[in-house]
Structure 1
Amino acid sequence: MKFKTLLLGMLISVCSLALPVLAEVETYTDPFKMIEVVADRTFTRIAKDQKKIEDNPDYLRVVVNEELIPYIDSRYAALRVIGNAADLRNTPREDLVAFVDAFQEYMIATYAGVFTQYRDQKVMIEPASDIGNRKIISVKTRVIDPGKPDINIEFKLRQSKGSDNWLVFDMVAEGISLLDSKRAELSNIIRQQGLKNVTSLLLEKAKTPISNTKDQAEKAEQK
């Protein structure tokens, strides 16, 4: 199960691209090319900063924030997580904004923790195909980790209204939607405790220090 979690966090990184790079290569309006280019750049960044990460795992928050978050539709994903758990029409705008921000911080911490397990797995991306006039598409990828079965992951992307830009809003790994999982985890709590309380809960969880889960597992095995 930990390996699957690693893949979810690892693969979402291929949805990211540092803003200066974005201005140099045409990948933002081509979802297939974006994922291909970003996968290479993100994993290169993690490898290059490995010493910083080993010294301070919390540095992975910086990596995730710079390389991932600009290309995730956090607002759309957060509102999908809320779903019918709250009456969005009667929810104050500031409460929704606060929840979106808290959800984003929570996901930054989640992915940062998962990245501590990254050890040079390879990602194969399906060839580009004609997407026509579709506004939502899936891009299939395959994760190759020597000695382990391949894992198939689908990225779900949506085209921003009024532009040609694509943003990632969900991933499906082995039939499990990350977005649906988070919605199942949080929707009942939102109904029971309210959106403000869940916002505070997410912010508190986001503060948890990032730890090297691989080192923890190795130490546990030695005991």
Structure 2
Amino acid sequence: MLTIAVPVTALSSETATDSQAVQQYTDPFKMMEVVADKTFQRIANDQKLIADNKEHLRLIVNEELVPYIDSRYAALTVIGRTVNLRDLPREEFDNFVVAFQDYMVASYAGALTYYTDQKVIIQPARPPENESIITIKTRVIDPGKPDITIDFKLRRNRGSEHWLVFDMVAEGISLLDSKRAELSNLIRQQGVARVTELLVEKSKEPIKVPE
């Protein structure tokens, strides 16, 4: 049974992405309430499919989470100061964003292998006023076991009222930070185009349970 406890007041609008309507939210807590509810409930309902094939988690992440992930910002964070973005061709960067998103999907899917049908609680907090980056804390409660903490980091672009996720911190470990540590030197040594090729190959690997 899934329990979500958060403020529910929000203004929202719908935009179309690839012919599918994607709800946008000005209240990040409302967004996480809806997205987490749909994602975790689907994982709970699809346990047989997941047990038969963990790749089903990749499908769930793509359909339920990716529309609310700021992959472009995450990719920029990973590239950081390793290259001069002014000298980087737009197409090369766009290709990196797509490859990095697919790579992160596999990481998110792997992190979610721990979830089956536990209770998930989003800790309520005051809606932000002037902040552009916030952390929303969640706890996965499994009777008889220590709680699992999963924090979602969200941001909104300057001039925008809508929020997107750019990082997930599971048990204190930031997926984005770990990927940046993994890829920064490779980008510096081999270039963005080569690392893009490597990410395309890595994203094809089977979903793995994190150590």
TM-score by length of structure 2 reads: 0.81
1:48 aligned residue (21, 45, 48): 45
Count of aligned pairs: 193
Query: 1:103-151: CA deviations, max 9, x gaps?
Result: 0111112222333342223222122304112222222222322233224
Q: Cα distance, 1:89 vs. partner? A: 1.2
Q: Between the two proteins, what is the percent identity of the paired residues?
A: 66
- 1:86 counterpart = 2:83: yes
Q: 1-side partners of 2:86 and 2:102: how far apart?
A: 24
Measured at CA, do residues 174 and 210 of structure 1 come closer, stay the same or move farther in structure 2, by a change above 3 Å?
closer
The letter of the residue matching 2:113 is T
Q: Cα distance, 1:170 vs. partner? A: 1.9
Q: 2-side partners of 1:63 and 1:147: how far apart?
A: 27
Q: Cα distance, 1:35 vs. partner? A: 1.2
Give the 3-state SS of the residue equivalent to 1:161 in structure 2: coil
1:167 aligned residue (164, 172, 176): 164
Q: 1-side partners of 2:172 and 2:207: how far apart?
A: 28
2:34 aligned residue (18, 31, 37): 37
Q: Cα distance, 1:174 vs. partner? A: 4.6
Structure 1 residues without counterparts, runs of 5 or longer: 1-18, 218-223
Q: 2-side partners of 1:126 and 1:136: how far apart?
A: 17
Whichever structure has more helix as a proportion of its residues is 1
Matches within 5 A, 1:1-223: 23=23, 28-210=25-207, 213=209
The letter of the residue matching 2:55 is D
Structure 2 residues without counterparts, runs of 5 or longer: 1-16
Give the 3-state SS of the residue equivalent to 2:26 in structure 1: coil
Query: 1:79-102: CA deviations, max 9, x gaps?
Result: 101111111110111110011000
Measured at CA, do residues 151 and 45 of structure 1 come closer, stay the same or move farther in structure 2, by a change above 3 Å?
closer
The letter of the residue matching 1:82 is I
The letter of the residue matching 1:179 is L
Give the 3-state SS of the residue equivalent to 1:124 in structure 2: strand
Give the 3-state SS of the residue equivalent to 1:68 in structure 2: helix
Query: 1:13-57: CA deviations, max 9, x gaps?
Result: xxxxxx87855xxx7221112212222211221222233333332
Measured at CA, do residues 203 and 38 of structure 1 come closer, stay the same or move farther in structure 2, by a change above 3 Å?
same
CA RMSD, aligned part only?
2.4
Give the 3-state SS of the residue equivalent to 2:61 in structure 1: helix
Q: Cα distance, 1:207 vs. partner? A: 0.7
Displaced runs of 4+ in structure 1, greater than 6 A?
Answer: none
Q: Cα distance, 1:195 vs. partner? A: 1.0
